[in-house]
Structure 1
């Protein structure tokens, strides 16, 4: 394979502005793409071999036969691209072997969807090279199936759709039931604002069981309430619905999902009215719900939120699946350095590893580079 292969593709990580754990409940989410990407250099092979290499991962090349791919693989990072090839072929698409080399700037384990980035860039490259003609939303669906079935992580559809479909300067309002989407302008700089990402450097894994427990609890709540998914519980009828649930843990999960869907709608209303600062308190409400009702926060994430708010931030919350990863902080641009410094000092005082802090800029979705 030449240094450029037959082509080079990129897919971004994503940051979720609001709408956490709602995606596998047929609810609403609002992610945007980060400038951080996974880049794949790809060439087709005619011998049925999938050869995977990465600049960022330990170990040499991994070679797999596409005819032998099946769920329950060896584990590790190669399960994600291998799962995409399996999902494409399992859906009837004529995909053969390939040489794929990956390089990534998406932080792993930070709740910024490094897994979705490698899945989507793989699907996009193979879609182009093998002329499959798949729409972006359909590629996202197949990538989700790869992660659910091949990798064994029960994630929703948000991450893959965000990586595949987001556009620069916008947040993506996505209805995860029918995959209808709307690009909502999200230009913070024009309002003198910044959105900081604080990577706590605490690693988490969605497939470690806790994510699955939350999902099962949500499904139990929907079944007890007689609805297809918790998205079907109206916000105005929440208290009545909660009164019908006997299990206090299920009740808490239901409360979070229903109120979180409502928060997504409130954020959209504020953004479309040009009231960007007004989303700050809604973000903070979301964190309290994730911390208290969904119980997926942790000491480090709570420290970021509490410290940032004390330093003058307009709003803050954890983002991603939880149990570590990253938090986001909405702040005036002029106050951003002080907020970031305060968080770093709080971590030092708590004898925690220094967090990584950077500014999130809504960026382009997956694309071919050459």
Structure 2
């Protein structure tokens, strides 16, 4: 069933328009965004599709093909922080509408919304950002509000931070909004600059595989927030606004000033991860993939040991991928479950996938879903 057909089934009319926004894979640069650092995500072809139309009255209705076609409904004035509209998956949609209204954009009248998303939930591929960005773009365009890609990303982040209650950085929403096909997005959060960096794995005879472990993470459960709080505490002890202010040359001196080992390890991850992103950018600008794999491996070790956001399934996926010939592998996303990625020669991708599945089976784990991905287009109007 297409999103348009779902809309017609739910509301008895055709939608005014169709929009979509993608999930994302983060090539490298994890938990650096809320430290004003460097990230390198790209959009994937899994997308949240949305059909939207105006409706009489003030009711905003939402239905999803992934949620038993149940229609959720709240009046515009009922969409408030802490209200029932913020609960569950509809909160990402209602949160984007709330963020538009809070920013002073004129929203009036009811809305009918239908959603069909192929972005896996809990896989570390930003299913929430896809929902937020497609809602922000669709509702703004339907109501004649002109937003830039950065506007869409910032409003969508506000929805997740302040309405849903998840203190994420801006990477996921910027990726879903601003990525382009064939490129990774080099996003310097401090400078608020973006650069589209070519990422043509096929020309290099390589594939990037996403290994969804089906260990579903729940980032709003507190662990993500604890990591952010640790980074903020470390920055405060160092007398800097964000850990981005610490560079690799000054790392040892900074670590010596911190009050405990946890803060030292969290800081070391952020500083070294920013350096790894910078090195990856230089390699890809030169159309080189040699060295990228080792940076991915080093990134995973840092997330596992210093930031402590990996888990046994992610570690297994990475270790088996490397043993099966991957040039590099690492977990991707916020951690505590989700997905790993592996950079591998295309003619070895099938045998690597088989090795990972066999290793998961040997441990009695749920079979992972493994897919090859390439950079795709960000949020857009489809019809």
Q: Using structure 2 for the length normalisation, give the TM-score.
A: 0.95
Q: CA deviation at 1:179?
A: 2.1
**2:257 aligns to what SS in structure 1?**
coil
Structure 2 Cα separation of the partners of residues 368 and 12 of structure 1:
12
Contact kept? 1:14, 1:163, Cα under 8 Å = yes
User: Where does residue 326 of structure 1 map in the other structure?
Assistant: 339
Structure 2 Cα separation of the partners of residues 278 and 300 of structure 1:
25
2:53 is aligned, of 43, 51, 64, to 43
Residue 85 of structure 1 pairs with residue 97 of structure 2 = yes
Structure 2 Cα separation of the partners of residues 197 and 159 of structure 1:
17
Change (3 A) 1:130 1:178: farther
Structure 2 Cα separation of the partners of residues 79 and 270 of structure 1:
40
2:355 is aligned, of 323, 342, 358, to 342
Contact kept? 1:53, 1:60, Cα under 8 Å = yes
**2:135 aligns to what SS in structure 1?**
helix
User: Where does residue 180 of structure 2 map in the other structure?
Assistant: 167
Within-5 A mapping of 1:74-153: 74=84, 75-96=87-108, 97-153=110-166
**Runs of at least 4 residues of structure 1 off by over 4 A?**
1-4
User: Where does residue 21 of structure 1 map in the other structure?
Assistant: 31
Structure 1 Cα separation of the partners of residues 314 and 31 of structure 2:
17
Task: Structure 2: give runs of 5+ residues left out of the alignment.
Answer: 1-10
Contact kept? 1:110, 1:203, Cα under 8 Å = yes
Structure 2 Cα separation of the partners of residues 34 and 245 of structure 1:
39
**1:302 aligns to what SS in structure 2?**
helix
Structure 1 Cα separation of the partners of residues 113 and 325 of structure 2:
46
Contact kept? 2:198, 2:287, Cα under 8 Å = no
Contact kept? 1:43, 1:100, Cα under 8 Å = yes
Write out per-residue CA displacement over residues 119-171 of structure 1, whole angstroms, 9 at most, x where no aligned residue. Answer: 00001101111111111101110110110111001111000110000000000
Residue 288 of structure 1 pairs with residue 301 of structure 2 = yes
Within-5 A mapping of 1:41-80: 41-58=51-68, 60-74=70-84, 75-80=87-92
2:247 is aligned, of 217, 220, 234, to 234
Structure 1 Cα separation of the partners of residues 49 and 290 of structure 2:
34
Q: Using structure 1 for the length normalisation, give the TM-score.
A: 0.98
Choose 56-65 or 27-36, whichever is displaced more.
56-65
Q: CA deviation at 1:277?
A: 3.0
**2:156 aligns to what SS in structure 1?**
helix
Q: CA deviation at 1:73?
A: 3.1
1:316 is aligned, of 323, 326, 329, to 329
Structure 2 Cα separation of the partners of residues 52 and 168 of structure 1:
29
2:372 is aligned, of 342, 352, 359, to 359
Change (3 A) 1:41 1:59: closer
Task: Structure 1: give runs of 5+ residues left out of the alignment.
Answer: none
Q: CA deviation at 1:59?
A: 5.8
Q: CA deviation at 1:4?
A: 4.2
Contact kept? 1:73, 1:79, Cα under 8 Å = no
**1:290 aligns to what SS in structure 2?**
helix
Choose 59-68 or 278-287, whichever is displaced more.
59-68
Structure 2 Cα separation of the partners of residues 53 and 191 of structure 1:
42
Structure 1 Cα separation of the partners of residues 358 and 14 of structure 2:
44
Structure 2 Cα separation of the partners of residues 188 and 351 of structure 1:
33
User: Where does residue 263 of structure 1 map in the other structure?
Assistant: 276
User: Where does residue 4 of structure 2 map in the other structure?
Assistant: none
Contact kept? 1:144, 1:157, Cα under 8 Å = yes
Q: CA deviation at 1:3?
A: 5.7
Contact kept? 1:73, 1:150, Cα under 8 Å = no
Structure 2 Cα separation of the partners of residues 272 and 143 of structure 1:
29
Residue 252 of structure 1 pairs with residue 265 of structure 2 = yes
Q: CA deviation at 1:17?
A: 0.3
Choose 328-337 or 72-81, whichever is displaced more.
72-81
Contact kept? 2:41, 2:186, Cα under 8 Å = yes
User: Where does residue 33 of structure 1 map in the other structure?
Assistant: 43
Q: CA deviation at 1:243?
A: 0.7
